[in-house]
Structure 1
Amino acid sequence: MKGLYQVAAALAASPLVLSVPNTNPLTPRATTFNNPVLWQDHPDLDVFRVGDVFYYSSSTFAYSPGAPVLKSYDLVNWEPVSHSVPELNFGSKYNLNGTGSAYVKGIWASSLRYRASNDKFYWMGCVEGKTHIWTSPGNGAAKNKGEVSNWNWTSNPPINSCYYDCGILVDDDDTMYVVYGNTDISVAQLSADGLKQVKSQSVYKHSGETIEGSRMYKINGYYYIFVTRPASAEYVLRSKSVWGPYTMKTILSNIKGPLSSAGVAHQGGIVGTADNKWYYAAFLDAYPGGRIPVLAPITWTSDGWPQLVTDNGSWGKSYPMPVQTTKTVASPLGTDEFKGTSLSHEWEWNHNPDKTKFRLLGGADGGLVLQTADVTNDLFAARNTLTHRIMGPKSSGTFRLDISKMKDGDRAGAVLFRDRAAYIGIHKDGETSTIVMVNGLTLSEDNWSTTGRGNVAARGPNVGAGTGEVWFRITADITPAFGTNTERTTSFAYSIDGGRTYANLGPAFGMSNSWRYFTGYRFGVFNFATKAKGGEVTVKSFGMQLV
C-alpha cells in the first residue's frame, strides 16, 4: 500500500502486536521471526520459490479477483502482487446478478507453479466439478532471479475432471503432474503443454480417516506427497515412482500451536531456500480472523524423511529468519488513495463486479467512484462491495467517502463483512442523509441465503443535503477465539470534521467464530440503491493500522 505508516511505536505499545513484528519493513535484517508470519486470512496456501523470490497462492472462494499471488524474499514478509483468476468464469451466480449467489463456493485448495521450460505460471483449481486452468507468461522469471515484471493471466479450457485439493508438480524431465483427492489420492499426468490430462491413477488409499490438501514434490530422487488430516495433522507419502507404491509417515499430529484459542497448524506444504534450508508453511484456524499462515523449519533424517522442528513438542512462536536479505516488500499497513489505473491486489470484490459501475479517477487526488449497481434492500445481494483483509490481532480500517452525489434511497458505508455482518454508513432518504450503525445482517449456514437484512441499531447525526466527506472507521479485534464461546468485538465510529475527531456509534458487534463460512472477517465499502440507480459515492482513501 502507498504511504506506509511508521508502525514501530504501535509495535512497542501493545504486547499483542509483538506477535507480528515481521510486518514492519523497517527491520529487514531481523535474525528471528515470529508466528504467524502474516496475520491475515490466506488459507490453503501453496508456496514455492523461483530464484530469489518466493510465491504464495491461496483460496478466495467467491471473492473476485480470485487466487491471490503474494511474493516474498524471506518467507516472512509478504506482498500481494497479482491474482491468478482475474475473473471468476465459473457460472452466472459468480456475477451476483439475480441468478443466485456463490458465497462459500468458488476457489479453494488450488495450486500454482512456475514452469521454466516455457517461462509460464500455471494455476489449477477444481470449481463446479471441473479443473479450471489459468496461465501467465513469466516474463523471463527464471533468468531474472524469479522476478516477474508483468502478469497477464489467460483462461484455458477446463479439464472435465475435478482435481480436488490439487497440487502441481513439474518433474525433473519437465513432465507435469497433478496430485489430488480426498482419502483416495490420485496422480494425473498432463500433456506436454500442461493443459490436458494424459492419464490418471490412484496411488494411495487411506482408511479410517479423511486425508486431503495434497502437495507434491520431487527431492533427491523421491516423490513426496504432503496431505492433511483436517484439521489437526499432516502426513507425508513417499515413493521412488510418481505412481507409487507410497509409504506414509506423520509430520505432526495435534501439536500445540503458537497462538492460544487457535487450531493446529496443518494443510500446507514445504519450500526450500537457495541455500537448501527447508520450511513447512501451514495455516491455523484462527477465527474470527480466518485461517492465517505460520512457518517452521524442517530437517531431514538420514534416510530422507522430513521432520518438523518444534519447540519442546509445540509449534515454535519464533524461529531463525529463513533468508537474510536487504530486499523488502510493501507493508500490509498504510493508506491507499486509489491513485493508480487499477485497484491494488489487496482488494477483492464480494463477487465478480459490474465493471460499468465503478471507475478510478486517477490524477493527483485519486479516488474510486462506486455507482449504485443494484436496486435491493439486501447488502449480501448487492454487487460491487469491495473488501480488504483485516490485519490481526487488532486493527482499524478507515474509509474516507465523498457522499455528495448519493440519491434518495441509497445506502453506502463501511462494512465488517462476513456471513454475520454489521456496518456504519449513510442512509439517504429524501434530502436527509443520516449516519447509522446497522447490525443483524446474516446468511444461513445451510445454503448461504440471506436470513437477516439488518436492523438500525443506532442513529448518528443528519449530515444534511450536499454534505461532502464523511470518515467511517471500523476497529476489529480478531485475536483468535476459535473453539471458545468468547465473542471478539468490533466498534464503529464516524468523523464529520475532516477526520480529526471520531465518535463511536452503536453497540459493540460480536463476531462469529464459526469455521463454516471458511473466510474470516474483512473490511469493506459498499454503495447500493433501494429505490433507483443513479447515485454514487467516491472512496477517497482507505487506511489500515494496528491498534
Structure 2
Amino acid sequence: MSKELLWKSDMGNGIFRNPILHIDYSDPDVIRVDNKYYMTASSFNYTPGLPILESEDLVNWTLVQYAIDNIDYPAYKLPQHSKGVWAPAMRYHDGWFYIYYGMPDEGIFMVRTTNPCGKWERPVLVLEGKGLIDPCPIWDEDGRAYVVHGYAKSRIGFNSYLGLFEMSQDGKKAVSEDHLIFNGSRTQVTIEGPKIYKREGFYYIFAPAGGVVVGWQTVLRSKEITGPYEEKIVMRQGNTPINGPHQGALINTPEGEEWFIHFQDRGAYGRITHLQPVIWENGWPIIGKKSEGRDWGEPYLFHKKPMVSQKEIVYQQASDEFEQEQLALQWQWMGNHYDSFYSLNSRKGYLRLYSKNPSKKEPVILWNCSNILTQKIVTPQFTVETEMDLSHLGEKEQAGIIVMGGQYAWLGVRIADGKRTICFARSFDEKKEKREEILKEIPLPEQCNILKLSIKIEEKENVRAYFSFSTDGESFEVMEDAFILSSHTWVGARTGLFSVALDLKDEHGYADFSYIRYRKDGEEIPLEFQPALAGDMETMVHMAEYTKTNMSLKDPRHRNFLHYAAQSGNVELIRYLVQRIGLSPLDGDENGITPLELAKNEEAQTAMEELCQVKLSDTYKNPIRSGMYPDPSIVRVGNDYYMVNSSFVYFPCIPISHSTDLIHWNTIGHAIVKEEWAELEGARGGFAYWAPDISYSNGKFYITATYRRNDDCAVLRKQMIVSSDRPEGPYSKPVWIEEDGIDPSLFHDKDGRHYMLLNRGARILELNQDLTAAVSKAKMLYYGDCKKASEGPHLLKKDGYYYLFLAEGGTGMGHQITVARSTSIDGFYEPCPYNPIMAQSDPNAAIQRSGHGKPVQTQNGEWYMVYLCGRMAEQNYTLLGRETAMDPIRWTADGWPIVNELNGPSVLQKKPNLPVSLCEKSSGDDFRAGTLSNEWVSPRGRRTEDIHFGEDGLKLDGDAFDLNELEARNILLRRQTAICCTAETFITKLQLNPGQDAGMTCYYDENSWLKFGLFQTECDSRICLVEQIGEIQKRQDLLVLPKLPSIIKLRINIDGLKRTFSCQIDEEEEKCLAIREHLTYLCDEGLKIGKRFTGPMIGIYTYGKGGYAVFSAFSLQHE
C-alpha cells in the first residue's frame, strides 16, 4: 500500500491543528481504554459500516476495522441514501467494547466485541421504533443501565427533546418504557446526539443544539438521571472560522487532561473532526478557548497536543495499488456488498469490478447501484488518477471514475450498440428522482484498451471537480465543464470506481483497475506557518519557547513567520516576532515580497514601520532594474544618473539608462546603433559585449566594454571605447584596445591622466588623452581578496585614497564585492578588514549572486552601490537572468565603505533623498504609432528593410533562417522584467507559404527558445508550439484552423517556470491551448551549452522568406 500525507494535523513540534481529520467521520464518539483511544462515527448506507479508528495521542488516527459488514435489512441491498447507521456511541464495560447506534426507520441497535480491531458480534435490536436516534448508554454505579437518545422529526414528528429508557445489564434489551427527560424546544432547538457521563455526583449530558451548520455545544446536568436538568452552552463558533462546533465526545487522558472531539460541517467535504481542550469552572465544562467576559469557549485552530507520546505521524490511506488480497479499509460500497461485485485475486495487482446492475432497472442510474466502490475525501484539494483496462468490458456496460454526493458526475467508457465511447455524465433531480445527462461523448480510438482517468478537486468559492482522460498515458484531455460537488443529507461527497451493466442480464464482463493514486494539490500554506497566519499568539509563543521549532524557518516561497503574522494583522504577534525572535519586516520572499508589504491593516503596517524605522512609502524595492540588466556601471553628471549594462549579442548594443532618483530608469539610447560597427555576425548567445562601464570627463561621456569573440576565434577578447557629448548618443565609431581581459573600466584621474582597468585581479594600463590607444602595458595592481575570479574592477578617488572595488567569487552563487585602497594609484593596496562588503550569506534568500558593483555619490552627499544580482526561485533557477540592485554605502570612521551594513542585498530599502524620476516605461506597444521603443532589441542585428510601419501596425517580413540559426534576424525581443507576467500580441494580417510561421517567442539564445504562433502547412493553417532545447526541437500542433483568420490574439502567461499558451481567433472565446511546466531551459542554469549569461526575452518573429505578419500591438503586463 502506498502512503501519502494528504492531510497533516500533527506539526511534529508538540502542536496540532484542527481539523485533526479532514474526513467525513460525522457524529464521532471516542473512548479511552488504558493508553489507547478508539473512535467510531456514522456510516449511514455505506458498508462496511461503523468505522473503528485507533490512536495513542488523540491527534494521529488509524482506521483499523469496521463493526458491521452489511446492514441486516433487505432494503439495503440497494442504496438507502441518508438512512442506515446514525450517530453511534462507544463505551467499554466489563471487558466488552459496545457501540450503540440508531437507524431512524428501524430502531436502536447494539454491537459488541472484546477486541475492537477484531471481529464484532452481530448487531442486536435493543429498542424497535421509528425516529429513535443518537443513543448513548451508561452503566450506573448501582448496576442499572440506561440509554439516553434523541428523536428524528422526519420519522416521529418532533425533535428538540431527549429521551431515556432503562435496559438490561448486558445491554441487549430495553426493560422500561421510553420517556422524555429534557425539552429543548425553546432554549436548545434541535438538541440531539447526547453523550452521557457521570462526574462528582452529577449526570452530565453533552449534546449539540442549534442545527448542524451553525449550532453550538450544550451541556446538561442533574443529580438524577431522569432530571430535571440544568443547561449551559459551553462552546460556540465565536470569532473563529469553525462553524457549528458540536456533537462529540468527552475524553480524559492518563495524565488527567480532558479533551472534547467534535465535528464541523464543511459542506461538500462532509463533517470533519476537531479536538479541543476542556477546563472546568464551577462544576461546568468550558470547551476550547475561553475569552474574557464569556462563560463559554470557542474552538482552537491550533493547540498543544495532549501530554502523551506518539512516535510518528499517521498517514491517512487513500491511494491503493491493489496488491493485497482484501480491499483496503478506506473503501466502502454504497449499499450492502457481495463477493460477486469484485475480485482482487483474479488478476494480481488489479481490482476487478464485475459489471452488475443490482438496481434491476433500466436505464441504469448509478445513484441506485450498491456496487459503486467509494472512499471519503481526505484533503481539500487533490488529484485522483486511475488506470482502467477495458478490454473485457462487454456490450451494454460502462465503467469509470465517479464523484458521488448530493449529485454525482462520472467519466468512463460506455459500450452500447457496438460503439465504444468515452462519456462524461452528471446527475440531476427530476420529480424527486435522479436522472443522468451525458455532457460529452467522444469515440474511443479503436485500438485503445487502456484508459487513464483523473479528477482534480479544487476549492474556491465552491468545491469543483475537473475530469480528464488520457488514451496514450501521457497527454490528458480535460472536460470543459466543472462539476460542483455537494453533500447529500448528512453525507459528504466521495470519489469512487464502478463497472455496471446497462441491461438486466446476469452474465457480463468486467473492468480491471491497476491503481488509484491521490496527489495533494493546491498551494496550501505549510502547516508550521498557519498559526502565524491565524494570528495565534498563544501557539506561536509556545512554539518559540517550549518546542524545538526553528523560528528562522522559511517556507518553499522563502517566507518566514513574520510574512504570515503580518497578514493576520495581530500587532502583538508582529512585535513579538520582531523584537523577541529577531525577524525583519524588510526580509523578502522569493519574489521580493516583504512582511511590511503584506500588512493586513494600517495598525500592522504602522507597527512594522516603527519597528524598522522606515515608512513603506519611503522605500524602494530591489532590483531597481529588473530583467536582463547585468554588470551595471553608473555615473552622475550634475543631478542626472546614467547607467549601462551588458547586452551580449543583442542589437542595438549596450543600453543606456537615465534616472534622477536612482530608482526609476528609462532606456534613452544605446552605445552602438550602427550594425556595421557592432561586429555581431556569427556571435553566439552569451558572447559579444560584456560588462560595460560609463564615465564622464571633460564634457564627454565614455563607454567601454569587452568584446568577447566566440571560443573558436584566434583572438578571444578586445576592449571597445566609444564617446559622445550627449549621454543618449549618438556615440562615436568604436575604437579598439587590443588588450586581453574582460570587464574594462575607465578612471579619469584629477591630474588629467586616463586609465583602463581590467580583470585577473585588477590590472591597469594608461590611455592617451583622447582615449583611443594604450600608452603603457598592463600591470597588476592587486590580486583580490579571495583571489577567485577577481574581475569587474572600478577605481574611486576619495579623501586621498584610491579605492579599488572588485567582483569576486564567480558570477553565480557566492558572488561578492570586495574593496582595497592605496594612497598611490600604483599601490600597495591594502584589503578592507570588512570584506566582502557585499555578499549574500543566506542561500535561501530572495536575492543571490550579488557582486560586480560600482559606487556613486548623490548630489546630497549620500553614497550608493549599484551591483549585479539574481533572483533565485524554484530549486535555485535564475528566472530573469542577472539584474541590477542598489544599496546604501556607509563610510566607517576608519575610512572604509560598507554596503547595507554588511547585511547583504536588501529587498526593501529606504529611498535616496532625491527628486522622483518621471518613468516613461509602458506596459504596451501600439505599433500603429509607427516606432519601436528603445526596449526592443534583436539578436545579432536586424534587417531594417524587413520592418515596415503602417496604419495597421508593424509588418515583419519573414526571415530565411529560423530562431536556432545564427543568421536569423527578423526577431524583435524585449526583456522579461517580472517573474509573473502576461504577454500578448495581435496579428491582423498574414501571408505565409507552406513551412512558414509567425507569432510570439520566449527566447534565451539560439539553443534555448520556444515559439507559439500560426504555422502554414500544405493543407491548412494551425496554431503550434515549438520548443528548442539544446539540439532537440519538438513541435506540438495545438489547433487546426479551417480558414485563415482575420485577427489572432496570442497570449503567454508566465508564472515562474510555467508558461500557459492561449489564443483567440476572430470573435471566438479565448482558448487555453497548452501548459508547459518547469521550463528551466529559459534560465541561466537550464542547459550546459554556450555562455549562459543572458536572460529570458519575449517578443515576436516571422519565419520564411516571402511571408509576412502584421502585428498591431504587443503588451507585457506584470502580475
- Equivalent position amino acid for 2:479 in 1: L
Q: Which moved more, 1:406-415 or 1:155-164?
A: 155-164
Are 1:4 and 2:3 an aligned pair?
Answer: yes
Could you report, residue by residue, the CA deviation over 1:240-277 in whole angstroms, capped at 9, with x for unpaired residues?
33233321111123424445xxx321222211112121
Cross-structure match for 1:462 = 444
Compared CA separation, residues 470 and 354, structure 1 to 2 (3 A): same
Given that 2:107 and 2:125 are in contact with CA atoms closer than 8 Å, whether structure 1 keeps it comes out as no
CA distance in 2, matches of 1:31, 1:348: 33
Q: Which moved more, 1:537-546 or 1:148-157?
A: 148-157
Cross-structure match for 1:167 = 136
Query: Which of 489, 495, 498 is equivalent to 1:517?
Result: 489
Query: Which of 93, 101, 122 is equivalent to 1:154?
Result: 122
Q: Which moved more, 1:155-164 or 1:225-234?
A: 155-164
Given that 1:458 and 1:506 are in contact with CA atoms closer than 8 Å, whether structure 2 keeps it comes out as no
Compared CA separation, residues 435 and 323, structure 1 to 2 (3 A): farther
- TM-score, normalised via structure 1 length: 0.84
Cross-structure match for 2:270 = 290
Cross-structure match for 1:106 = 84
Could you report, residue by residue, the CA deviation over 1:172-229 in whole angstroms, capped at 9, with x for unpaired residues?
5664321112433222222121101122443222341331111111223322101111
After superposition, residues 396-411 of structure 1 pair within 5 angstroms as 396-411=383-398
Please state whether the residue corresponding to 1:295 is helix, strand or coil: strand
Q: Structure with the greater relative contact order (CA < 8 A, sep ≥ 6): 1 or 2? A: 1
Cross-structure match for 1:488 = 463
Could you report, residue by residue, the CA deviation over 1:100-125 in whole angstroms, capped at 9, with x for unpaired residues?
x511211222222222x143433332
- Equivalent position amino acid for 2:413 in 1: I
Given that 1:413 and 1:526 are in contact with CA atoms closer than 8 Å, whether structure 2 keeps it comes out as yes
Q: Which moved more, 1:522-531 or 1:396-405?
A: 396-405
Query: Which of 374, 389, 414 is equivalent to 2:376?
Result: 389
Compared CA separation, residues 73 and 248, structure 1 to 2 (3 A): same
CA distance in 1, matches of 2:449, 2:100: 44
Cross-structure match for 2:344 = 360
Could you report, residue by residue, the CA deviation over 1:512-538 in whole angstroms, capped at 9, with x for unpaired residues?
3xx652211100111111134411112
After superposition, residues 303-382 of structure 1 pair within 5 angstroms as 303-310=282-289, 312=291, 314-328=298-312, 330-361=314-345, 365-374=348-357, 376=362, 377-382=364-369
Query: Which of 207, 214, 217 is equivalent to 2:197?
Result: 217
Count of residue pairs the alignment pairs up: 495
Given that 1:333 and 1:544 are in contact with CA atoms closer than 8 Å, whether structure 2 keeps it comes out as no
Q: Report deviation, 1:405.
A: 0.7
Could you report, residue by residue, the CA deviation over 1:424-462 in whole angstroms, capped at 9, with x for unpaired residues?
1111235543222212x1346x85x32x2222x234451
- Equivalent position amino acid for 1:180 in 2: H
- Equivalent position amino acid for 1:391 in 2: V
Given that 1:392 and 1:477 are in contact with CA atoms closer than 8 Å, whether structure 2 keeps it comes out as no
Could you report, residue by residue, the CA deviation over 1:305-344 in whole angstroms, capped at 9, with x for unpaired residues?
1012327564221011124423457412453122333222
CA distance in 1, matches of 2:54, 2:101: 18
Q: Report deviation, 1:235.
A: 0.9
CA distance in 2, matches of 1:222, 1:338: 51
Given that 1:255 and 1:264 are in contact with CA atoms closer than 8 Å, whether structure 2 keeps it comes out as no
Given that 1:432 and 1:464 are in contact with CA atoms closer than 8 Å, whether structure 2 keeps it comes out as no
Compared CA separation, residues 287 and 276, structure 1 to 2 (3 A): same
CA distance in 2, matches of 1:257, 1:198: 44
Given that 1:45 and 1:283 are in contact with CA atoms closer than 8 Å, whether structure 2 keeps it comes out as yes
Are 1:539 and 2:508 an aligned pair?
Answer: no
Are 1:55 and 2:38 an aligned pair?
Answer: yes
Q: Which moved more, 1:106-115 or 1:198-207?
A: 198-207
Compared CA separation, residues 463 and 83, structure 1 to 2 (3 A): farther
Given that 1:258 and 1:316 are in contact with CA atoms closer than 8 Å, whether structure 2 keeps it comes out as no
- Equivalent position amino acid for 2:65 in 1: S
- Equivalent position amino acid for 2:462 in 1: E
Given that 2:44 and 2:84 are in contact with CA atoms closer than 8 Å, whether structure 1 keeps it comes out as yes
Given that 2:351 and 2:514 are in contact with CA atoms closer than 8 Å, whether structure 1 keeps it comes out as yes
Q: Report deviation, 1:161.
A: 4.0
Compared CA separation, residues 178 and 391, structure 1 to 2 (3 A): same
Please state whether the residue corresponding to 2:508 is helix, strand or coil: coil
Given that 1:289 and 1:390 are in contact with CA atoms closer than 8 Å, whether structure 2 keeps it comes out as yes
Cross-structure match for 1:252 = 235
Given that 1:264 and 1:285 are in contact with CA atoms closer than 8 Å, whether structure 2 keeps it comes out as yes
Cross-structure match for 2:887 = none
Are 1:78 and 2:61 an aligned pair?
Answer: yes
Are 1:133 and 2:110 an aligned pair?
Answer: yes
Compared CA separation, residues 103 and 421, structure 1 to 2 (3 A): same
Cross-structure match for 1:17 = none
CA distance in 2, matches of 1:546, 1:44: 26
Are 1:94 and 2:76 an aligned pair?
Answer: yes
- Equivalent position amino acid for 1:541 in 2: Y
Please state whether the residue corresponding to 2:75 is helix, strand or coil: helix
Compared CA separation, residues 443 and 291, structure 1 to 2 (3 A): farther
Given that 2:30 and 2:39 are in contact with CA atoms closer than 8 Å, whether structure 1 keeps it comes out as yes
CA distance in 1, matches of 2:341, 2:475: 32
Are 1:503 and 2:446 an aligned pair?
Answer: no
- Equivalent position amino acid for 1:212 in 2: E
Identity of aligned residues (%): 26
CA distance in 2, matches of 1:21, 1:543: 18
Could you report, residue by residue, the CA deviation over 1:497-520 in whole angstroms, capped at 9, with x for unpaired residues?
44x4433234211223xx652211
Compared CA separation, residues 225 and 280, structure 1 to 2 (3 A): same
Query: Which of 183, 190, 197 is equivalent to 2:167?
Result: 190
- Equivalent position amino acid for 1:128 in 2: D
| Superposed CA RMSD | 2.5
CA distance in 2, matches of 1:173, 1:474: 56
Cross-structure match for 1:280 = 260
CA distance in 1, matches of 2:253, 2:519: 31
- Equivalent position amino acid for 1:150 in 2: G
CA distance in 2, matches of 1:420, 1:396: 19
Please state whether the residue corresponding to 1:405 is helix, strand or coil: coil
CA distance in 2, matches of 1:366, 1:518: 35
Compared CA separation, residues 58 and 422, structure 1 to 2 (3 A): same
Compared CA separation, residues 397 and 266, structure 1 to 2 (3 A): same
- Equivalent position amino acid for 1:464 in 2: E
Compared CA separation, residues 123 and 180, structure 1 to 2 (3 A): closer
Query: Which of 467, 473, 480 is equivalent to 2:454?
Result: 473
Query: Which of 98, 101, 126 is equivalent to 1:121?
Result: 98
- Equivalent position amino acid for 1:546 in 2: K
- Equivalent position amino acid for 1:442 in 2: F
Are 1:268 and 2:251 an aligned pair?
Answer: no
Return the index of the structure with the highest Cα Rg: 2
Given that 1:527 and 1:536 are in contact with CA atoms closer than 8 Å, whether structure 2 keeps it comes out as yes
